[in-house]
Homo-oligomer: A and B are copies of this chain.
């Protein structure tokens, strides 16, 4: 295979337009101090020759790399793909992130690193050194891992933290978990439920606590006790089953589960016990994956705007690189509730 070089480079454009390399570069980067006339001439040459800058060369020149890394948890992501039951977190990130990137000539690269690895910093450093991305989008639980945020901060790379409100650098974005939990609780309350249980996620995820807080707030607003109605799971099916057992024991007539696996576990436990959903037990899921949508009955679910949040994260990163000033307050893009067949008034 022949050593392949760029077909048309900035030099060709410069020659064609009869200007210097520098002027072409300025036009490409939309820099000021170029006469409209020059700019038009250069633009025309670019079109004619079909010139597209090489991102490797742009990076080498010391400017942007036009690469944004979406960092996900390796174990969980791969497990999701392997089981292929449609957990579409990554797809939604691609949908929102890739398309937004494309609008600005950027690319989104998915990277996986182990949360629990002791050499997580080395893994990430290697990826950063290899790719030299202009930004990194962190998802839970990476978004609240100080080893990761610290490294990014030291390296001076702009990053977004999805699902984290911790103070510090990096754009914080949430999907309004507190409000979503309140919404779910209120929905169940409005149906007439009073014993509303919550199967929470693990502490490792900040958002677990937010959801608990939202549920507690809603319960308190209705003067309802929460005493033994909370069970802390770890997002696994098994923990969901345990949680459902505990909450049924506590007399829950409705259960909110913090993800699809725990919801599914609850649904199947109910079935095993001969309980009708939603007749004997109402159920709200906190994920809107096919597992929830195609369950029988289809689960009322909190729908998380992953694509929108990722898109926003990309925007923030690109805007910061472009020198525009960044918002310092956390950004919330609220989840919504899709009411389906798993919730109904209690008997």
Interface of A toward B, CB cutoff 8 Å = 1-8, 50-57, 59-60, 62-63, 65-66, 78, 80-82, 84-86, 88, 90-92, 94-95, 98-99, 105, 107, 109-110, 112, 122, 125-126, 129-132, 155-158, 288-291, 293-296, 307, 320-321
Contacts and interface: CB of A to CB of B under 8 A. Distances in A.
Contact of A53 (B62, B125, B130, B296): B130
A5 B59 CA distance: 9
A2 B156 contact: yes
B132 A56 contact: yes
Contacts of A56: 55-57, 59-60, 65, 132
A295 B321 CA distance: 47
Given A4-B132, A50-B125, 12 more contacts: A2-B156, A7-B155, A53-B129, A54-B130, A55-B132, A81-B95, A84-B88, A84-B92, A88-B91, A90-B94, A98-B112, A107-B130
A169 B85 CA distance: 36
A98 B86 contact: no
Given A1-B156, A109-B107, A85 B86 contact: yes
Contacts of A98: 110, 112
Nearest to A78: B95
A95 B82 contact: yes
A180 to B, nearest CB: 18
Contact of A86 (B55, B78, B99, B290): B290
Given A81-B91, A82-B95, A91-B84, A62 B3 contact: yes
B55 A130 contact: yes
Nearest to A2: B156
B289 A86 contact: yes
Given A5-B62, A85-B86, A54 B132 contact: yes
